Amino acid sequence: DTAMYRAKAHGRARCEIFDEKMLARAQEQLRLETDLHLAMEREEFHVVYQPIIELETDRLRGFEALLRWRHPERGLIPPTKFIPLAEETGLIVPLGNWIFTEACRRLRHWHDLDPRFRELTLAVNLSLRQVYSADLEEEIAALVDEAGLNPMLLHFEITENTLIEHPNQVTKVLLRLKRHGFKVAIDDFGTGYSSLAALQSLPVDLLKIDQVFVARMDESGKARQIVATIVGLARALGHEVIAEGIETDAQLKELRRIHCTLGQGHLFSPPLEGDAVEEEVLTRYYPDLPKPVRREAGARRAR
């Protein structure tokens, strides 16, 4: 099977020999899949949060919740290695529900820490499997209601490629999410080929510029032009724009110049676990936080 899939991946009418390297890759994939199923039972997954910043005012807008897997023997396994496998096996659906539950609890906690935090937003990624899950919207709405959160503060991100490959199903789901009051974003925008007509008809609130373009802004005039075009298009359609992967002051300066609304990246903060967010991010953007809030964050950090 491995040889067959490899042949298909390289084009039709090809022959691939199943060799020792393929065997090793297949065995590694099988081990990873086995460990992936056990990881939830062993509580090896955790959620990290990356700040989303208003670029013009340097104000904290909210966070994106991201999944991490800390394997007891292999250490931190990159999402690019296990997310596709979770999607393929269907484990991404219960994983997605778990991420959303944990993230809602954390956002509720932050809202309770200080009245000013009650406007903080939370972005969560939706996978293709979740898009085809029959009870998706009802389960999400129930979790949000249980946490006592305003649906408008919850943003759901779906990649542009998923939208292009499954336009009808994605549009249906986005419309249902919008009816519940949630906001939706197209992630990794610019990597696919969404048409202007499609963008005009989609129930979308935000576009997220793929970090590949942002990373090239320092050295490529073409990349800067692409980013500026996306920002202009989004503004014309009434959408906000988030630039991903901001790492340099030069990138930030250019994004501000072209009036990109929001941004995230290591220039502001890497993704952090919840307690670290309170100690390192909330106290940075709200330096006048009451001392009890600071002490509470520090105490949890020490445990």
Q: Cα separation of 236 and 100, whole Å?
A: 32
CB 131 within 8 A of CB 170: yes
DSSP assignment of 68-103 equals EEEETTTEEEPHHHHHHHHHHHTTHHHHHHHHHHHH
Query: What integer pLDDT is reported at residue 52 of this predicted model?
Result: 98
Tell me the average pLDDT across 196-201. 72
CB 130 within 8 A of CB 96: yes
Predicted confidence band at 172 (pLDDT cuts at 50, 70, 90)? very high
- Identity at 256, one-letter amino acid code: R
Checking phi first, is residue 287 left (phi over 0); if not, alpha (psi -120 to 50) or beta?
alpha
- Identity at 272, one-letter amino acid code: L
CB 61 within 8 A of CB 121: yes
Query: What integer pLDDT is reported at residue 11 of this predicted model?
Result: 53
What is the CATH class of 40-302? alpha beta
Tell me the average pLDDT across 180-187. 94
Predicted confidence band at 34 (pLDDT cuts at 50, 70, 90)? confident
Return the closest-CA partner of residue 166 out of 210, 206, 124, 127: 127
220-256 pLDDT per residue, tens: 889 899 999 999 988 998 999 999 999 999 999 999 9
Query: What integer pLDDT is reported at residue 207 of this predicted model?
Result: 93
Of residues 145 and 6, the one with the higher pLDDT is 145
| pLDDT at residue 1 is higher than 70 | no
Of residues 253 and 297, the one with the higher pLDDT is 253
CB 32 within 8 A of CB 49: no
Place of tokens 């090239």: 216
80-103 pLDDT per residue, tens: 989 999 998 899 999 999 999 999
Largest CA distance in the chain: 69
